[in-house]
Amino acid sequence: MANSVNNGKPPLELSLREFAKEAKHLMWTRTPNVADILQQAGRKDGALSPDSVWLLSWWIKREMAHQMMDNTHTQASLASYDAVIWYFNCPLLWGIRRDQIQQLYDDCLQQSKLHAEVGARTGFFLKNLQSTSELQEITLLAKNPTCLDVCEENLHMSLNSKFKIERQVMDVLKSPPPELHGKFDSVGCNYFLHCLHGGRKIILLAVKHCAALLKPETGTFHNRMALSLLVKYTV
């Protein structure tokens, strides 16, 4: 397998080493076949075959499904979430670097005082914000209270109460509560819309409700897929 990937993607072996390091604390990675693959990936010169990468991907998908309940995240699945999504799926399956997404957050929140995170999960990029001189408050919005619990705890631990953190249970397919309409300078909704079932109409409905959270004319909504859909189907 090639040692480098085009379009700014990280080398495959480097991504696998990062995943092996990040996932070593997860119990399911100690299963013999998976442990062998990760041990090989963790070596400096550990190049894996496409079959090994496929097997690892299949195993990860199976284990995440086992940890979830009725296709809903639990404490167990969220404990694996960052390693699986940001260190495996993101660079290896989707070809997107974590630093690209982090830069998107840093840029979009640079002038934001009030930020809402829709579909909050673990707060991976929020807790690593760099350019936050204006930010005063982060509001976490999700249908699943467990996600709110985990995200809020992560942010409190990493940000040391630098910002005020609010939370509210909200279904993105329903109109936001009146008190949240037009409140926020920025709204993030990343790696969430593709989880919604029902096709384009459902995604556009979610985008509409995210847009309703923004201050008129000045708010920033950062989700590249959502913005492209919004332009394509509303202009």
Per-residue pLDDT of the chain (235 residues; tens, 9 = 90+): 333 334 455 556 667 777 777 777 676 666 666 667 666 665 555 556 666 777 777 777 777 777 777 678 898 889 889 988 898 888 877 778 888 888 888 888 888 899 999 999 999 999 888 866 788 999 999 999 999 999 999 998 887 667 899 999 999 999 999 999 999 999 988 888 878 888 889 988 998 999 999 998 776 776 554 444 333 333 3
Location of each CATH 3.40.50.150 domain in the chain = 98-234
Asked if 114 and 25 touch (Cβ cutoff 8 Å), the reply is no
Token pair in block for residue 180? 């949240």
Asked if 202 and 174 touch (Cβ cutoff 8 Å), the reply is no
Token pair in block for residue 63? 């284990």
164-169 and 220-222 beta bridge pairing: unpaired
**Which top CATH class is 98-234?**
alpha beta
Token pair in block for residue 2? 């090639």
Please give the pLDDT value at position 140: 97
